[in-house]
Amino acid sequence: MNLNPFWSMSTNTGRKRSDGEEQSGEQQQQQQQRASPARPSFGKKQLPSIPKNAVPVTKPASPAATAQLANGTHASYGPFYLEYSLLAEFTLVIKQKLPGIYVQPSYKSALMWFGVIFIRHGLYQDGVFKFTVYIPDNYPDGECPRVVFDIPVFHPLVDPVSGELDVRRAFTKWRRNHNHIWQVLMYARTVFYKINTMEPLNPEAAVLYDKDVQLFKSKVVDSVKLCNSHLFDQPKMDDPYAISFSSWNPAIHDEAKERMFTHKRRPEDHQKGLQVSGLSWVKPGSTQPFSKDDNPPQS
Amino acid sequence: MVANGNRDGRPGEALVLKGLDPETCMIVFKNHWAQVVKILEKHDPLRSNTSSNMASAVQNYVEHILFLLMEEDAGQAGAMGPILEFVVMENVMERLFLWSLRRQFTDDMKLEQLKMYEMIVGQARQPLLHHKPVLRPLMMLLSSCSGTAGPEVEAELVSLLNQLCCVLAKDQSVLELFFHTSEDQGAANFLIFSLLIPFIHREGLVGQQARDALLLIMSLSAENQRVAQHIAENTYFCPVLATGLSGLYSSLPTKLEVPGEEWHCLHREDWLQMPTLVQFLNSLEFCNAVIQVAHPNIRDQLVSYIYNGFLVPVLAPALHKLTLEEVMTTTAYLDLFVRSVSEPVLLQTFLSFILLHRHENVHILDTLVSRINTPFQLGTVSLALFQTLIGLYCEDVMLQLILRYLIPCNHMMLSQRRVVKERDFYSVSAAKILALTPSCCSPEHSPPPLRQLDSILWSKGTDNSTEETFLEEDGSGYSCVIGSEIYLDVNYLHYLYNARLGISSCTRACQVWSAPYDGEDPPPEEYQPSALEEAGARGRQAQTVNPKRSHPHPRPRPPCPPQTTDPAPTNQLELEWDDSYDAGPVVSPEAAAAESSRPPQLPAAEPPKHIQEMRRTAIMLVKGSYIEESDFQDDVMVYDLVAKKDARDTVDCRRPSRETLPESEESEIDSNLNLEEDHFKESSLQEKDEVPLSNGLSLPLHPTNMEVTKGSKEVKAHVADHNSNLQSPSAEVGDDLMGQYEELIRTLGSDETGTGGSSHVKTVDKEFRNPVVTPMEEDEVDFSSFSVDTPELEKPHSSLFGTKLRSGSTRSHSVPFTGPFVSVLLSRLENMLDNSLHVNLLLTGILAQLAAYPQPLLQSFLLNTNMVFQPSVRSLYQVLASLKNQIEQQASTKKDFPELITSAQHCLLARESSLKDSRECSPPEAGRMMKSSPPPQPKTISLARTEVFATVLFTEFLKELAAIAQEHSILSHVPMEE
């Protein structure tokens, strides 16, 4: 068993997602994990082994951890709470099945998620934008997570230098239980369909959109082209779970595609062969023990 | 001796024969046979004494003849070979058999013949049994052996029968012949089967062979209706098998010699030392195997006989024997039996006995649950039994033990029902549980040895570089670093890992369950206590009627207790339920008087005559004699009195903490507990006696209360609660209870709002909403709704409603109760500091097992620290919190406490590693870790320092629970198919 708590679970769930929910329209731009460690078999919950080239990041206790002591909890468990909070967020993202958005927590930290967004219509149609989500380490009590595009997309709400999306305008104050990371992802997708030019991070884009849509459109097309031309570049961050793209290679991808489609039928197959260890003789709709009709005689 | 000679000479002979052509063989055969015939005709054993010379001459020839027969290959297209044809035509086998019959048919002769057949049946190259001239003398031989015979003959007979069954299993066409041939002989149909029955329970090789042979026939019966029908209708197979268990059971030791106080269940190494128990388990295992492979008719019959011929008449009284040791022993046996049985149908039989059977009008389950509270080893053994039961992942068990008390959701505040399914996003419950860690055990203060070792391992995994080098900056200037090596309790990772394994396997197992038990399905409204009672009565009725279908000998329904308002049964039941180990009510002299003067008990339900008869014969068959269960009539009472007395003594000296409480507070708690127990008694009484619900008491409903809650479903529920509470047989008792209860609620209610209440309200007010917005392609999402400024539309105001409701008296009449099992477990846990180490290990083990169940009702009750329960409901968290306080108090008064803690940790660690060494089932990484640790030699600590060990265990238990809570927050919300 590996002893690094910070990635094991999340990579597991991440794996499941990228296996099962790939959309066929984006097949030619197959997501692929670089240097990915041995894959655990589908549906089986186990901890993957640590890749050799990766080293968990640690640092001495952060002020945030000690701060939690004041809340009556032990600082030593702070990282576990954080890890599980982020895991919970991640499972929530999976549940939402956000169209065209894929995220995966990084290997090094659960606080950093790699993502990619596919824009399917509108001004930014055919855009494939990679981004990184940075979650504050005092989550969920801190600021809202930040979304930074790998390449600054030409957009009024995206900083033309850093590539950061203005998320805070939608989440002025991040509130636990009320705000969730899937909402941020959803927001990141929405900005490409519904352009807002108020208080822009990229004033040029805002002005163009308001004054000269045609020019704005052509700039957007250029920006989309630029982004897409860098699609196959090495990931910006050296992380085994960073999302990287490779061109379609039938030798690898055909089989993967095949598997994705067969997974859809998997649950029933699974049920048949499943060795059921539980017992029940309760008739559905009843709370009486041994109420099922096919019970053998007793007394 | 023919067979022996043959066996020894065979290899050489075979070699010789291989060289011979069939024609020569035939000539040799005919030649030999002619010689035999000559002797047979000349020396009729009836007229003249056959000399031994003659006999051995015959044997010699026969030996050769049989060889030739055995070695002959079948003819073309399965036709008989010439020798076999000759054997059939000349009736060789029958003539040989008759000849030996005419001589003195001694055991030796039988043995000779049996061996002869065993050899040719087992080794012939062509099917022989298809031919009547071969089969008939065999059947005659078998029936002649069915009487009394020496052990050698028996062994040979069983061996031959086993071989015949093997042939049957391979070639079912012989089956028909077996039936017909025996008919011809006027012998019992299907002789080989009947002959095997007496050997079912035999020990040693003979018994094993017989059981193997019978199993072959059993699997045959699954496909062959005729065999199944014959066995079920014309043989004593099932009754012998089932009641034989009773016989074997009677020879088990009634009192076990327990190796030590720590002992709580029969392990393999224990029962291997007990031949009688081994024999019993062999037979039980055989029943299990029969049920697994046999035709449903046989299966159902056997199961029914096991229930009515063993469990009810033997095991039930044995569970109510006179002394604690005997009862403890029976409980340990029952636990072992349940663990030994694997076939669901048989398991179901045992479980329905445990869950539904009533012995002297008390459910076995209730008795077993109440025994958890005994301070003796019986309590420990009972705990172990429940650990086994809970580990079965059986819905029926969990339903009866806990879930049925949780389904109505009366244990929580009304507003909390929606919280049941809510997800704990930020490990709030885990944090609250871990915050109970006693300061003397805090990981910051005294790192336990296990942690240190782990830490070493941990840093090894991250190379030799200093921590600074791990800090990485990515290009954008955002550093993503979390965690700290220094404070991480790595030991906790193991708990998380185990929790994950436990929860996922439990979740997988529970997929076969009928309902999710999430506070919505089954709907709480339909299972309010009153409704439940009715359903229960109906269900039980159905239970007794239903099985008659395919049962050849239906058991008459147990006599129902008279449904009167006679106070006597109440007293008896009170006695039964008076688990006074934990501050129970003191029995007043009046009550004691009532006990002694109570009318004689109803006679125990007698099994029907034929069962008794059957049992006697079967027992005679197996053992020779068996002492019938004598009068158990007053066992229960005596046992309980003894237990109570002892318990009281223990309580008195064991509960110093109580004395520190102000008197008023104490009495308040006492009344609380009493009341809870009273209700407990009452409800169990209702159930047990199936008191009709149309009891005449009317409920004085205050119109004001009605206004508060008018129209809501809950009102109905409360009224129903109320009514059901008035179902006491005695109106006086009911009124009294009501009065007490009113008062209690008042005191508790004010207390609640004064101190704990405010925090409850706060937690309720916290937003726990999980906005699941379905994703939309149109992107018409209003993000302003995620912002803080938006007015919240669905602020939970129901909590207020709940509070109001409680302060009113409408609700007060139903005492929410989470069931005797939970109540007993928690009260034992409450005494954790006084419990011995192994009791605490069992207790915490069971609770952790329960907590791993994925059903939201159970999960929310055990792990959700934000739930607001009814004031009378004791939650796990409350008990843990009070334990923490006790521990802190101890730690502050004892100087050497930290030192003792360290010693206890080392002691437990050593225990752990010795367990792991002996079992070798530890996960590899744990083993590695243990090996790398030098055996610590700290100051030894006596196990009698229970409070120290309990403190260490308590701390670990908190981690275990927190880990389970954390894993639930992830696992239970990942869609199953993914």
User: From residue B458, how far is each of A2, A5, B462, B638 by CA, in Å?
Assistant: 9, 11, 7, 58
DSSP track, B227-242: HHHHHHHH--HHHHHH
* DSSP run (H or E) holding A132: strand A128-134
Q: Which of B486, B548, B978 to mutate to test the interface with A (most CBs of A within 10 A)?
A: B978
Q: Is B356's CB within 8 Å of A290's CB?
A: yes
**Partners of residue A70 in chain B, C-beta under 8 Å:** none
Taking all residues of chain B, what is their mean pLDDT, rounded to a whole number?
Answer: 69
Per-window interface: A 187-226 vs B, CB < 8 A: 187, 189-190, 193-194
Phi, psi of B313 (to 5 degrees): -80, -20
Q: Is residue A149 helix, strand or coil?
A: strand
Q: Which residues pair with B359 in a beta bridge?
A: B362
- Average of pLDDT values for A24-53? 37
What CA–CA distance (Å, rounded) separates B86 from B77? 18
What CA–CA distance (Å, rounded) separates B302 from B232? 9
Say yes or no: A296 contacts chain B, CB-CB below 8 A: yes
Rg of chain B, C-alpha, whole Å: 36
B130–chain A nearest CA distance, Å: 38
B260-278 as b/e, with b when 16 or more CB fall inside 10 Å?
Answer: eeebbbbeeebbeebeebe
Say yes or no: A166 contacts chain B, CB-CB below 8 A: no
A167–chain B nearest CA distance, Å: 11
Minimal Cα distance from B542: which residue of A? A291
In this prediction, residue B56 carries a pLDDT of 80
In this prediction, residue B46 carries a pLDDT of 63
- Average of pLDDT values for B464-487? 34
**Partners of residue A178 in chain B, C-beta under 8 Å:** 767, 769, 771, 786, 788
What CA–CA distance (Å, rounded) separates B233 from B238? 10
CB B882 within 8 A of CB B888: no
CB B376 within 8 A of CB B362: no
Minimal Cα distance from A66: which residue of B? B487
What CA–CA distance (Å, rounded) separates B281 from B338? 11
CB B177 within 8 A of CB B128: no
CB B142 within 8 A of CB B192: yes
pLDDT above 90 as % of chain B? 29
**Partners of residue B775 in chain A, C-beta under 8 Å:** 96-99, 186
B486–chain A nearest CA distance, Å: 7
Q: Which residues pair with A118 in a beta bridge?
A: A128
Per-residue pLDDT tens over the stretch B210-267: 999 999 999 999 988 888 988 888 888 999 898 899 999 999 999 988 877 788 899 9
In this prediction, residue B282 carries a pLDDT of 92
Minimal Cα distance from B500: which residue of A? A45
* DSSP run (H or E) holding A131: strand A128-134
pLDDT of B95 strictly over 70: yes
Q: Is A76's CB within 8 Å of B555's CB?
A: no
* DSSP run (H or E) holding B31: helix B22-42
**Partners of residue A52 in chain B, C-beta under 8 Å:** none
What CA–CA distance (Å, rounded) separates B669 from B654? 17
Per-window interface: A 93-122 vs B, CB < 8 A: 94-99, 106, 108-112
CB B406 within 8 A of CB B865: no
Closest partner residue to B925 (CB to CB) among A1, A56, A134 is A1
Lowest average pLDDT, out of A97-106, B181-190, B961-970, goes to B181-190
Say yes or no: A252 contacts chain B, CB-CB below 8 A: no
**Partners of residue B444 in chain A, C-beta under 8 Å:** 74-76
pTM of the predicted model as reported, rounded to 2 decimal places: 0.70
User: From residue B187, how far is each of A195, B146, B222 by CA, in Å?
Assistant: 96, 11, 24
Higher pLDDT, B940 or B868: B868
B947–chain A nearest CA distance, Å: 23
Q: Is B392's CB within 8 Å of A279's CB?
A: yes
How far does CA B452 lie from the centroid of its chain?
Answer: 39
Closest partner residue to B969 (CB to CB) among A13, A84, A193 is A84
Q: Is B787's CB within 8 Å of A3's CB?
A: no
What CA–CA distance (Å, rounded) separates B177 from B167? 13
In this prediction, residue B436 carries a pLDDT of 94
Q: Which of B482, B690, B967 to mutate to test the interface with A (most CBs of A within 10 A)?
A: B482
Q: Say which residue the tokens 């885990």 belong to.
A: B430
In this prediction, residue B918 carries a pLDDT of 63
Minimal Cα distance from A44: which residue of B? B978
What CA–CA distance (Å, rounded) separates B691 from B705? 28
Query: Which of A177, A193, A108, A181 has the alpha carbon at shortest distance from A146?
Result: A181
What stretches of B341-425 show up as alpha helix (H) in DSSP? 344-356, 364-371, 377-390, 395-398, 404-406
Question: Which tokens hold the place of A193?
Answer: 């369909």
Band the pLDDT of A277: cuts 50, 70, 90.
Answer: confident
Query: Which of B270, B18, B271 has the alpha carbon at shortest distance from B125?
Result: B18
Vertex A204: Cα angle to A203 and A210 (nearest 5): 90
In this prediction, residue B878 carries a pLDDT of 94
In this prediction, residue B292 carries a pLDDT of 93
Band the pLDDT of B935: cuts 50, 70, 90.
Answer: very low
Amino acid at B822: V
Q: How many CB pairs under 8 A join A and B?
A: 342
What CA–CA distance (Å, rounded) separates B366 from B319? 12
Band the pLDDT of B159: cuts 50, 70, 90.
Answer: very high
Q: Which of A8, A196, A287 to mutate to test the interface with B (most CBs of B within 10 A)?
A: A287
Higher pLDDT, B643 or B122: B122
Q: Is B432's CB within 8 Å of A97's CB?
A: no
- Average of pLDDT values for B418-442? 89
Q: Is B962's CB within 8 Å of A77's CB?
A: yes
Q: Work out whether strand A128-134 and strand A112-118 pair parallel, antiparallel, or are unpaired.
A: antiparallel
Vertex B961: Cα angle to B675 and B384 (nearest 5): 70
What CA–CA distance (Å, rounded) separates B786 from B801? 27
Per-residue pLDDT tens over the stretch B813-856: 457 888 999 999 999 999 999 999 999 999 999 999 999 999 99
**Partners of residue B447 in chain A, C-beta under 8 Å:** none
Per-window interface: A 8-67 vs B, CB < 8 A: 9, 13, 16-17, 20, 43, 45, 47, 50, 55-62, 65
CB B359 within 8 A of CB B399: no
Q: Which residues pair with B358 in a beta bridge?
A: B363
Q: Is A55's CB within 8 Å of B508's CB?
A: no
Per-residue pLDDT tens over the stretch B885-917: 999 999 999 888 888 888 888 888 888 777 766
**Partners of residue B922 in chain A, C-beta under 8 Å:** none
Band the pLDDT of B395: cuts 50, 70, 90.
Answer: very high
Q: Is A277's CB within 8 Å of B539's CB?
A: no
Give the Cβ contact number of residue B146 at 10 Å: 14
**Partners of residue A74 in chain B, C-beta under 8 Å:** 434-435, 437, 442-444
pLDDT of A167 strictly over 90: yes
Whether the bond into B700 is cis, omega within 30 of 0 = no
pLDDT of B609 strictly over 80: no
Closest partner residue to B489 (CB to CB) among A62, A77, A81 is A77
User: From residue B93, how far is each of B105, B137, B138, B188 by CA, in Å?
Assistant: 16, 7, 8, 22
In this prediction, residue B952 carries a pLDDT of 92
Q: Is A296's CB within 8 Å of B555's CB?
A: no
Q: Say which residue the tokens 């029926």 belong to.
A: B396
What CA–CA distance (Å, rounded) separates B512 from B823? 28
Per-residue pLDDT tens over the stretch B281-331: 999 999 999 999 999 999 999 999 999 999 999 999 999 998 889 999 999
Q: Is B509's CB within 8 Å of A77's CB?
A: no
Say yes or no: A157 contacts chain B, CB-CB below 8 A: no
Question: Which tokens hold the place of B932?
Answer: 């790398």
Say yes or no: A259 contacts chain B, CB-CB below 8 A: no
**Partners of residue A183 in chain B, C-beta under 8 Å:** 783, 786
Question: Which tokens hold the place of A148?
Answer: 């930074």
CB B276 within 8 A of CB B251: yes
What CA–CA distance (Å, rounded) separates B642 from B351? 28
In the DSSP assignment, the letter for residue A153 is: -
Q: Is B766's CB within 8 Å of A99's CB?
A: no
Higher pLDDT, B74 or B35: B35
> Which range among B97-101, B698-702, B811-815, B953-957 has the greatest average pLDDT?
B953-957
Q: Which of A81, A98, A196, A288 to mutate to test the interface with B (most CBs of B within 10 A)?
A: A288
> Which range among A1-5, B387-391, B559-563 has the greatest average pLDDT?
B387-391
Q: How many residues does chain B have?
A: 978
> Which range among B29-43, B51-65, B384-398 has the greatest average pLDDT?
B384-398
What residues contact B90, with CB distance under 8 A and at least 6 apart?
Answer: B33
What CA–CA distance (Å, rounded) separates B532 from B405? 10
Per-residue pLDDT tens over the stretch B564-581: 333 333 333 333 333 333
In this prediction, residue B181 carries a pLDDT of 58
- Average of pLDDT values for A260-276? 57
